[in-house]
């Protein structure tokens, strides 16, 4: 292994325990493709401004490409003595390209280098996560369209409240994930800023062309303050915050799937492929996928607390504490991606027990508000109508009936304005159809919402760039000219 990059100042070797303690290679090795791509852009720019020769640039680029392939084949030995992925790549480049490798770090620090790598990584992952959110939204819309006429109880305080369409309930989650997609797109704007060229904290004396590097790497803009460039992790905090909200939405959906699949509800049946059994109770079928997603939301929220707490007291500029940013960031990315993917696979395999849902919607006086609305239409003030409806519910409870099982004569003991048309008014179909205000659960509203969502998803899918994997661009792509990248 090579010497430390700071060996000129020190007279003692680093303690082996310190090397193990300060090493981040087990975590940041995931950034190797971005580190190499960023290095190729940097050396291309160095040649562009005349700091190195074109031949040196070509030799370095070819060497980096070989290093990348070597890491991909798991042929590079990683060691705590080299601390991080940056020094491993630079040391391996020396083996591949010789002494010219020592010129690569001209005008650059590991401070702006790691900031670049993380931004490149997160740009790619945000795009991938956005694709997965769209895919999950698509599944929800398809389920809503397939079950557009299924009626279920709507709940407040986990008590049956009013009947709604199951499709309307699903489309509520579509709206949540729509906001998650918008948050990811907004976060991407602040991630898409290139910090390379800020060096350690103050910029550099070399005549770097940062705009040229920006074009090579495909960033939208160049960072404006060198100190902020190397010390900023707002974009990572913002991403984990957005991811936490998305995980909360997945957790809420998980909770409902757990409840609905229980014997007490029996609204749905989750496919055997997405459930597990018990080691002791043969009859058990457990909704483990939903429970794990619900549990993993706590993990992501914990990551948010970790990175916020990490950054809250750091003075400018770079501090070694910031090495701890990667574990919560990488874990959040991997957790959210896995949860989105498993839900997109599980939801289409859920059986909806429409008869059970409808039966539940017909019990528990879910039409009590509609009785009050009926009385209002007959000229009775709402508060008085509310009281009359409440007394009717109490009477029905005492006599073991639902409201729509009462006779007209029984209704008239509460108000003389009630006529036989009350029964049509209290029917499930009419209760659903009348809730036609914008955003309500009426059949027509839900159909229009499904159509709007389908158009919106088609447009977003058409505009979205191709999927971006973790591999990033190949090393040879890094030598493209800015004109080719534009």
- Catalytic: 313? no
Backbone φ and ψ of 86, nearest 5°: -60, -45
Round to the nearest angstrom and report the end-to-end CA distance of the chain. Answer: 39
Select which of 220, 262, 278, 476 is catalytic. 278
278 is catalytic: yes
Q: Beta strand pairing status for 159-165 and 151-156?
A: antiparallel
- Please answer whether residues 170 and 257 qualify as being in contact, where contact means their C-beta atoms are separated by less than 8 angstroms: no
Choose among 89, 99, 74: nearest CA to 39.
89
CA atoms within 13 A on the CB side of 417: 15
The DSSP result for 92-148, as a single string, is HHHHHHGGGGGGTTTT--HHHHHHHHHHHHHHHHHHHHHHHHHHHHHHHHHHHHHTT
Residue 441, CA distances (Å) to 117, 154, 169, 205, 370 in order: 47, 10, 9, 65, 14
Say if residue 159 is exposed, middle or buried (CB neighbours under 10 Å; 0-12, 13-18, 19+).
Answer: exposed
Q: What is the CA radius of gyration of the chain?
A: 30
Rounded (10°) angle between helices 166-191 and 443-463: 30
Catalytic residue among 157, 263, 279, 313: 157
Mapped onto helix, strand or coil, the DSSP state of residue 374 is helix
SS3 161: strand
Query: Residue 76 in contact with residue 255, Cβ under 8 Å?
Result: no
Does residue 452 contact residue 446 with C-beta atoms inside 8 Å? no
Residues labelled as active-site residues: 157, 278
């Amino acid at each position: 292994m090579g010497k430390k990059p700071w060996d000129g100042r020190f007279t003692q070797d680093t303690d082996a325990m310190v090397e193990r303690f300060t090493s981040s290679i087990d975590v940041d090795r995931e950034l190797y493709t971005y580190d190499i791509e960023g290095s190729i852009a940097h050396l291309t720019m160095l040649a562009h401004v005349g700091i190195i020769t074109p031949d040196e640039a070509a030799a370095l680029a070819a060497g980096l490409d070989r290093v990348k392939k070597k890491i991909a084949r798991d042929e590079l030995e990683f060691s705590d003595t080299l601390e991080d992925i940056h020094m491993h790549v630079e040391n391996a480049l020396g083996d591949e390209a010789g002494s010219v490798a020592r010129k690569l770090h001209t005008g650059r620090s590991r401070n702006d280098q790691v900031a670049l790598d993380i931004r490149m990584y997160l740009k790619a992952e945000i795009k991938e996560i956005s694709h997965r959110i769209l895919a999950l939204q698509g599944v929800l819309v398809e389920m809503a369209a397939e079950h557009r006429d299924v009626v279920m109880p709507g709940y407040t305080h986990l008590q049956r409240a009013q009947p709604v369409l199951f499709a309307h309930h699903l489309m509520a989650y579509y709206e949540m994930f729509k906001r998650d997609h918008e948050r990811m797109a907004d976060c991407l704007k602040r991630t898409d800023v290139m910090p390379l060229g800020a060096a350690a904290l103050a910029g550099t004396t070399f005549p770097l062309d940062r705009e040229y590097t920006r074009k090579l790497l495909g960033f939208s803009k160049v960072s404006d303050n060198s100190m902020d460039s190397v010390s900023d992790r707002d974009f990572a905090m913002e991403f984990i915050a957005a991811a936490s909200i998305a995980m909360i939405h997945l957790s809420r959906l998980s909770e409902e799937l757990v409840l609905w699949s229980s014997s007490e509800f029996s609204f749905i049946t989750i496919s055997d492929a997405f459930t597990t059994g018990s080691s002791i109770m043969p009859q058990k079928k457990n909704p483990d996928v939903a429970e794990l997603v619900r549990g993993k939301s706590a993990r992501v929220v914990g990551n948010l607390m970790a990175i916020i707490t990490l950054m809250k007291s750091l003075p400018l500029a770079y501090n070694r504490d910031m090495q701890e940013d990667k574990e919560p960031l990488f874990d959040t990315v991997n957790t959210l991606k896995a949860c989105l993917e498993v839900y997109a696979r599980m939801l289409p395999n859920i059986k909806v027990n429409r008869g059970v849902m409808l039966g539940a919607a017909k019990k528990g006086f879910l039409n009590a508000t509609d009785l009050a609305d009926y009385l209002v239409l007959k000229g009775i003030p709402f508060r008085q109508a509310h009281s009359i409806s409440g007394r009717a519910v109490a009477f029905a409870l005492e006599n073991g009936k639902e409201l729509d099982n009462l006779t007209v004569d029984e209704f008239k003991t509460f108000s003389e304005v009630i006529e036989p048309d009350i029964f049509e008014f209290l029917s499930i179909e009419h209760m659903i159809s009348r809730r036609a205000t914008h955003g309500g659960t009426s059949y027509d509203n839900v159909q229009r919402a499904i159509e709007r969502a389908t158009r919106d998803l088609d447009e977003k899918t058409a505009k979205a760039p191709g999927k971006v994997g973790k591999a990033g661009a190949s090393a040879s792509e890094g030598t493209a000219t800015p004109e080719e990248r534009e």
